[in-house]
Amino acid sequence: QAQSVSESIRLNQIGFYPNAAKVAIIVAGSDANGSDANRPDAAQPFQLTTPDGKQVVFSGTLSAARKNVISGKLARTADFSAFKKAGTYVVNVPGLGRSYPFSIGANVHRPVAVGALKGFYYQRMSTDLPERYAGQWHRPAGHPDNHVWIHPSAATATRPAGSTMASPRGWYDAGDYNKYIVNSGITMGTLLSLCEDFPDFCRTLTTNIPESNNRLPDLLDESLWNLRWMLTMQDPDDGGVYHKLTNPKFDGMVMPDKAGSPDRTSDRYAIQKTITATLDFAAVMAQASRVLKPYGRELPGLADSCLTAATKAWQWAKQNPNALYDQEAMNRAFDPDVTTGAYGDRNAGDEWIWAAAELYLTTKDDAYYTAVDLFPDAKTQLPSWAQVRPLAYYSLARLRNQLTARGQQDLPKVKAQLLQLADGLRQDVAKHAFQTPMGKVASDYIWGSSAVAANQGIALIQAYRLTNDATYLNAALANLDYLLGRNAVGYSFVTGFGHKTPMHPHHRPSVADGIDAPVPGLLSGGTNANAARQDKCPGYTTTVADEVFLDADCSYASNEIAINWNAPLVYLAAAVEALQQK
């Protein structure tokens, strides 16, 4: 007889590859039906069955319990890796219940990879999303951005305050309607890197977008929507790049085409040129120039324009090394005040390294390589919008056969930096309650922790590409399992993918469109230990770091979506697909 779903059985709600690890984690605490599944000494059986519960296809025993070091709760593993037959199944724990149904199959994560890439299409600004591409989430264009004010913080003789510029297109950054160069930087770097790392596989990701029938991979067509916007954010006179294009205040929870308001709070401004924006821009444009080079026929001159833009940005950066973004200081000096996302990074050291590396790799000019110290210390931090240094090492490692003699000398250092990061992530995974690199330490649960998990996955994939050591790939896959449901809150964090998924993300179109299902393929920021204090959304029920998540649209600190979180999800899901033993 089929049991009911138990929320205590946590697993990847999409599924598993026939030849890869397959585990569910059984957590203690939430089932009040007298189950002994989590008693540490009970060797409890479990089965894999057909969804109707009628046919048992595999039987096993739960592991001994491990203590979750963050919550103190016990967790046990149901390992059914030995079962390899394709199909749809549930994990059944007698007395406890069954899991959500999932698949075992060769290309099981392809829909997630494609869906997450399609998520970017839904974020497109300044264009209608017709029904034939957007389905029930079709909507009229918003934010044409043809008349963007030069904010006084950005004024120059040729572009004085009160003048305007055209800066259309781009993706909405997140649940809000602004666009920020810093966050676009790592997002674009991550997507372009997927195409550079897996060029053939990249072509197979087709998302049904208006450009799907041209010769470019859809991933590049999608990226061009944002790249063309980014190009408009460079002041043509001096090469500096505006930090962001924004309203003074966040829009209300309305559809994009309804965002205008008569009180000027919806006026759009290009804000202060900064060193971090300009260097991120330089890195992206240098990389884009490389990636777009083969498409000279379709995109005449674009690769060269990108490289010119990158070098001009680099020149501006050399002359303005101290132009950090400090929103409070800016608001003291200029009107109108701006209260939207700051992306205010106080240290541009990593942006220098990323820009130098990409410019070097595209031009093969050692002058870029030697302009900054690319290896200031041996520790490699995880990439984030504020920490782009590892992207430099990813690119140097990727193009390791094309380096100049000067670059080749340092190849051992590049490898050491990457393996230092990946080895730390891979270490002790088996001891962790959820057996994922993600969440071994409570400090992983920050704002946007889903991107922590995804970026850890990318770091592990990079190590796998360098070493061919499958333990890195397996660890990366475990983090995809994390994102799709094997975690302390039991959500698959990707809208529309899985059974228990965010239904109320902080995402203006999803809130305002009157459709029950949120826009699909968007990665919720996820568990965030400090979310309650940060967004003050009512309804949080716990302060345990790995459990603070609220599927409510006011929970912007745990349930917003953002392009810099979606991009590493696209990368991770696509890379494990590309690398799977089929």
Work out whether 535 is an interface residue with ligand 9MR (CB under 6 A): no
Contact status: 227 vs ligand 9MR (CB under 6 A): no
Least distance from ligand 9MR to the Cβ atom of residue 307, Å: 29
Is residue 240 a contact point for ligand 9MR (CB under 6 A)? no
From 176, 218, 350, 444, the catalytic residue: 176
Least Å distance, CB 255 to ligand 9MR, is 18
Of 62-70, 168-176, 192-200, 357-365, which segment contacts ligand 9MR by CB under 6 A? 168-176
Show contacts with ligand 9MR in window 105-144 (CB under 6 A): none
Tell me which residue has its CB nearest to ligand 9MR. Answer: 341
Give me 414's structure tokens.
Answer: 């590049």
CB of 185 to ligand 9MR, least distance (A): 13
**Phi-psi group of 498: left, alpha or beta (phi > 0 → left; psi -120 to 50 → alpha; rest → beta):** left
Interface residue with ligand 9MR among 17, 445, 447, 571 (CB under 6 A) is 447
Q: Applying CB under 6 A, does 280 fall inside the site for ligand 9MR?
A: no
- Per-residue buried b or exposed e for 415-433, using 16+ beta carbons within 10 Å of the residue's own CB: bebbbebbebbbeebeebb
Whether 560 is a known active-site residue: answer: yes
Question: Out of 145, 551, 553, 577, which one is annotated catalytic?
Answer: 551
Q: Answer whether 508's CB lies under 8 Å from 176's CB.
A: yes
Overall size of the chain counted in residues: 582
Which element (helix H / strand E) includes 133? helix 131-134
Dihedral of alpha carbons 345, 568, 427, 392, sign: negative
Tell which positions 317-376 bind ligand 9MR, by CB under 6 A: 341-342
With CA atoms as reference, report the closest residue to 92 among 57, 120, 119, 64: 57
**Is 551 annotated in the active site?**
yes
**How far, in Å, CA of 257 to CA of 420, rounded?**
47
Residue (173 or 547) nearer to ligand 9MR, CB: 173
Contacts 24+ apart (CB under 8 A), 401-408: 402/361, 402/364, 403/361, 404/364, 404/366, 404/369, 406/366, 406/369, 406/370, 407/360, 407/366, 407/369
Would residue 499 show up in a list of annotated catalytic residues for this protein?
A: no
User: How many angstroms separate the CA atoms of 489 and 527, rounded?
Assistant: 8
Q: Is the peptide bond preceding residue 336 cis, with omega within 30 degrees of 0?
A: yes
Q: Which residues from 483-522 bind ligand 9MR, rule CB under 6 A?
A: none
Q: Is 176 a catalytic residue?
A: yes
Site for ligand 9MR (CB under 6 A): which residue of 96, 102, 159, 176? Answer: 176
Spatial CA neighbour of 338 closest among 261, 255, 254, 272: 272
Choose the binding region for ligand 9MR from 158-166, 172-180, 297-305, 541-549 (rule: CB under 6 A). Answer: 172-180
In this chain, which of 448, 457, 518, 520 binds ligand 9MR, going by CB under 6 A?
448
- Does residue number 560 form part of the binding site for ligand 9MR (CB under 6 A)? yes
Q: Which of 531, 545, 562, 567 binds ligand 9MR (CB under 6 A)?
A: 562
Using alpha carbons, select from 222, 233, 342 the residue that is nearest to residue 281.
233
Q: How many amino acids of this chain bind ligand 9MR (CB under 6 A)?
A: 10
Residue 174 in the binding site for ligand 9MR (CB under 6 A): yes
Partners of 523 in the β-ladder: 494
Specify the residue, 460 or 522, whose C-beta has the smaller distance to ligand 9MR: 522
- How many whole angstroms separate alpha carbon 363 and alpha carbon 161? 36
Minimum Å gap between C-beta 523 and ligand 9MR is: 11
- Asked if 170 and 160 count as a contact pair (C-beta separation under 8 A), the reply is no
> Could you list the residues that contact ligand 9MR (CB under 6 A)?
173-174, 176, 341-342, 447-448, 556, 560, 562
Residues serving a catalytic function are: 176, 506, 551, 560
